[in-house]
Amino acid sequence: MLRVIREHIPIALAYLGLAIIFTYPQITGLTTSVPQSPLGLSSDPYLMLWNAWWAKESLIDLRANPFFTDYLFYPNGTSLAFHELTLLNGIITIPFQVLLDGPRGLILGYNMVILLSFVLAGVGMFALIKHLIGSASAAFFGGVAFAFCPYRTMHIVHMDLLSMGWIPLYMLSLIRTFREEGYLNPIWAGLLFCATWLSCSVYAYFLLLMTGLFAVYGLLFNRKEMQPKHFIHRFALLVFLLAVAITPRLIAMLRAGGAVEQPGEVIDILSANLLGYLIPTEKHALYRFIFGLIRGHSFYLTGVPGHATFLTFTVIALAAVAVARLPLRTTGFWLVVFLASVTLSLGPRLHVWRWATLVPLPYALLYKFAPLFNVIRTPYRFVVLAEIGIVVLSCYGLRYLIFGSRRAASQGSIEGRQTARAGTRRSVIVGVFTALLCMELWNIPFRKYPITAPPVYSGIGKEHGSFAVLDLPATQYPELTRSMYYQTLHEKPIPIGVLSRTNPTLKDFATNLLPKSASPGELHEEEIERLEGNRIKYLIYHKYDDDMDHIDPIVKVF
């Protein structure tokens, strides 16, 4: 194990250096600001910061179950079983929160999780591809393609959605479980599934799908590569570990009672556009210029995902080489992963450029009938699996170009046999394609979004006693997420909140509790009594002006 870690340290440092450059100038404000998505200003960082704070508050300070809180929707509280708490990422931020007290440590931990997610994604894909094709240089290319893909660029503020690095590591352990003797590999696979489950539940469901697909594909086409003597035992152990991992939270979900369903029209909006895989973002300076030369060209695509699914022409071209030149027994599984994932990412009906057609797709049936499939309420996130499939294919294609023959490209661990001249040629080819890839992945620099808060919350936090704080207005998502961030400063319960999947009864409770008047001077006596009865001591009225927050006024109820 130590040998494997030492071998991957230089690779990890290389990906870390690329991540610092890729996210620049974020490195200059790690304790004061967060990156801003190319999609524009988002309130999601406030929710992510609350998730990280709650991990420390529940596990270290309160020593309580992190999947239930009465700090939101006070005094009743709420289960967080349906909420994408991304607990593992929150745990990673705890040392930084302890190191630097207050918001600086919280923001630093959040930024470090984002930065390290690029390293984990790169190293994870590197390890998978190195095992599959035996070429470290091609594997490094694959790590870059996966770690810095446009999907991750668009979700730069989401700790949960950036937690993609566990997926290729799980796939590596899964492949070894099927093909190698011993029980260590299924145990590793179980641990990696737990890490995914605690980072992003949607990706954990992806792993279940990939496990089933790999088992079926292997039994149909790759029986000779399995070890039939002990295969059933190893696979049974893996299934048992996966069941143990998901059961506690599933029970908590059943006890929670349910969550608000994603409306069908929203699922449709959050479906990928077929041309989105081929058209780059308008944020890319070079492609904006090149495509701007095409008369009548528009970057517009239907739906919210936009160009988060762009695969890059470099990856597409190399994958085409692999499919055209290598035998299907080498590329077949990854081609199936890519095609199936792209199909599912398109959602319940086909979207092409500006048009949302009436052509039905398999996603609609699976969403309705497949067990737990409704966990995936955002179809275009299947691009994560599509990226894994096509990146592996592109690395096969790159290795074919490196060694120049079908025979060489179909055998593993052959780099050491090359002459010095061939090694130079190989390095040049890989360097050229990696440079082209980096050019395609780099968009406009990320903007820094400063995280600030009025100083009044620090004073409230010093007050003793059990009471709640209510920030107003509190009806829209940006207002609610900002109130949750302010809670990390005063550390008092709040009677409102926003979750990934909210129980409808909680929304009704918050709506009935909020004052109907728009200003403190219009508060009715019954409203004051209701607030006091729910131990709400402070009403803090805000006037939001873009990213500024002006408080006017503060009402002390009791």
pLDDT by residue (tens digit) across 184-209? 999 999 999 999 999 999 999 999 99
DSSP, collapsed to helix, strand or coil, labels residue 160 as coil
Q: Which amino acid is at 367?
A: Y
Q: Which amino acid is at 95?
A: P
pLDDT of residue 307: 66
Q: Is 441 exposed, middle or buried (0-12, 13-18, 19+ CB in 10 A)?
A: buried
pLDDT of residue 421: 62
pLDDT by residue (tens digit) across 456-494? 998 998 899 889 999 988 888 889 999 999 999 999 999
Range with the largest mean pLDDT of 149-158, 265-274, 285-294, 299-308: 149-158
Q: Which residues pair with 36 in a beta bridge?
A: 447
- Terminal C-alpha separation, the chain: 60
Tell which residue, 241, 254, 238, has the closest CA to residue 186: 238
pLDDT of residue 409: 43
Tell which residue, 144, 149, 135, 194, has the closest CA to residue 169: 194
CB proximity list for 91: less than 8 A, separation 6 or greater = 55, 59
pLDDT of residue 228: 60
Q: Binning pLDDT at 50, 70 and 90, where does residue 3 land?
A: confident
122 phi/psi in degrees, rounded to 5: -65, -50
Query: Would you state the structure tokens that stand for residue 26, as one six-digit string?
Result: 């974020």
**DSSP string computed for 216-273:** HHHHHH-GGGS-HHHHHHHHHHHHHHHHHHHHHHHHHHHHH---PPPPHHHHHHTSPP
pLDDT of residue 95: 97
Per-residue b or e along 151-161, where b marks 16 or more CB atoms closer than 10 Å to that residue's CB: bbbbbbbbbbb
CB proximity list for 250: less than 8 A, separation 6 or greater = none
Q: Binning pLDDT at 50, 70 and 90, where does residue 422 land?
A: low
pLDDT by residue (tens digit) across 313-368? 999 999 999 999 999 989 999 999 999 999 999 999 998 887 888 899 999 888 88
pLDDT at 416 over 50: no
Higher pLDDT, 301 or 447: 447
Element (H, E) at 3: helix 2-22
pLDDT of residue 259: 66
pLDDT of residue 414: 47
8 A C-beta contact, residue 133 and residue 412: yes
pLDDT of residue 415: 47
pLDDT by residue (tens digit) across 229-253? 677 888 899 999 999 999 998 888 8
Q: DSSP letter at 156?
A: T
The residue to which tokens 């893996």 are assigned: 238
pLDDT by residue (tens digit) across 387-405? 999 999 999 999 999 886 5
pLDDT at 496 over 70: yes
Tell which residue, 452, 471, 441, has the closest CA to residue 537: 471
Q: For residues 511-525, give the mean pLDDT.
A: 75
pLDDT at 410 over 80: no
Tell which residue, 13, 41, 308, 273, has the closest CA to residue 161: 308
Q: Would you tell me how many other CB atoms lie within 10 Å of the CB of residue 41?
A: 12
Euclidean distance between CA atoms 45 and 36, whole angstroms: 9
Q: Binning pLDDT at 50, 70 and 90, where does residue 226 land?
A: low
CB proximity list for 527: less than 8 A, separation 6 or greater = 515, 516, 517
pLDDT of residue 391: 98
- Please state the pTM of the whole predicted model: 0.91
Give domain limits for the chain.
165-259, 265-417, 455-558
pLDDT of residue 38: 75
Reading phi first (left if > 0) and then psi (alpha if -120 to 50, else beta), residue 97 is in alpha
- Give the side-chain half-sphere CA count within 13 A for 181: 1
Q: For residues 404-430, give the mean pLDDT.
A: 59
Q: What is the mean pLDDT of the chain?
A: 87
Euclidean distance between CA atoms 272 and 304, whole angstroms: 8
Euclidean distance between CA atoms 341 and 332, whole angstroms: 14
Q: For residues 77-92, give the mean pLDDT.
A: 93
* C-alpha torsion sign, points 416, 436, 324, 122: positive
